[in-house]
Structure 1
């Protein structure tokens, strides 16, 4: 993939993990968040190709990682409005409830589908990263990255992007299949808190 700019909205744990991997792959990272100091702090940890962006303005990258909690997505979408039109939006959120015992999405829908409703019609949402914990992502291993989305071109671009990060993209189907990714995301949280006693988890698909 040609080295280009990847924009990340957010500066939390997952945003930091993804930004580090993106920078290591040689892409320029644009970090965008309301808290300018927090964005600049993250940029300072990355290489010279990292920059801080302006919250609410059009992101520099054509691929935008929406790395904010599910409960903040609607507000962020409203703040950016048409600035996200035409972008490929990677939705990484696990839409869990407050005590992390269930999903906070309407019956028959997914967080990714609900997020898509808040964005301009020309923005193409692809679900990805939600089954990878941030600290596992920072370890640099070749992990399976499951994706779902309705736009074939957007998914192809995200797959190429994920591959450039040293991940193995695994397409599970259309946007309706995002539910099948968010449920395992919740399962992994439950497993970490209960059965495994560790957050050092990843899902791997055995093929052959």
Structure 2
């Protein structure tokens, strides 16, 4: 199983780390707060590092808000070349909470891919709430993780990790599908914020 570096130590970072631990992956948690990163890593038997330290994972998850992406890609641009980079962000307008801040013909993931031309960028986990990752189920069914990207090998590697972690990884198509995934993620956030669904709910594909 591939190793994984997760940049961020919030709820989503911890949830994805739990999935990776179930999959048997080696885990590195990277954060600006060394104590929080160490605590998150300890919970899954992984290692920790602070922002700017070397990344040990074959797969690197950007578990940070979209507003932090520019700084992160600048810090790690060279180090991410050749790696699978997973963008989990939903580029929501935090001032109005009524739309996305990227152009209508683009996505956060496409913006990141342009900033990291040497990396294999995929979209995943943005349609999942953190509370649906650790239990691994939504409504009694395995939590579905939609994965989009242009590099078939990178995309399959993420799908394999998700499946090995007990969730249901689904190939959602090319990187251009990230726009639709971000719209789904945003809609779910709106529904949860208005208490029409629970933050423990989420996206499932019934077969």
Check if 1:66 corresponds to 2:66.
no
Question: Whole-Å Cα distance in 2 between the matches of residues 52 and 90 of structure 1?
Answer: 19
Match in the other structure for 2:31: 33
- The TM-score normalised by the length of structure 1 is 0.91
CA contact (8 A) 2:22 2:164 kept: no
Question: 1:38 Cα deviation (Å)?
Answer: 1.5
Classify the secondary structure of the residue corresponding to 1:147: strand
Matches within 5 A, 1:1-208: 2=1, 4-47=2-45, 50-98=46-94, 99-119=96-116, 121-141=117-137, 142-194=142-194, 196-207=196-207
Question: 1:195 Cα deviation (Å)?
Answer: 5.5
Classify the secondary structure of the residue corresponding to 1:82: coil
Between Structure 1 and Structure 2, how many residues are aligned?
A: 202
Question: 1:159 Cα deviation (Å)?
Answer: 1.1
Question: Whole-Å Cα distance in 2 between the matches of residues 138 and 86 of structure 1?
Answer: 29
Q: Deviations over 1:122-162 (max 9, x none)?
A: 20111000011001112232211111111111111111111
Q: Deviations over 1:50-81 (max 9, x none)?
A: 00134224311110111000110111010112
**Cα 1:63–1:97 shift into 2, 3 Å:** same
Question: 1:187 Cα deviation (Å)?
Answer: 0.6
Any gaps of 5 or more consecutive residues in structure 2? Answer: none
Divergent runs of 4+, >6 A: none
Question: Whole-Å Cα distance in 1 between the matches of residues 65 and 125 of structure 2?
Answer: 13
Question: Whole-Å Cα distance in 1 between the matches of residues 88 and 193 of structure 2?
Answer: 20
Any gaps of 5 or more consecutive residues in structure 1? Answer: none
**Cα 1:206–1:140 shift into 2, 3 Å:** closer
Q: What is the root-mean-square deviation in Å for CA atoms of aligned residues?
A: 1.5
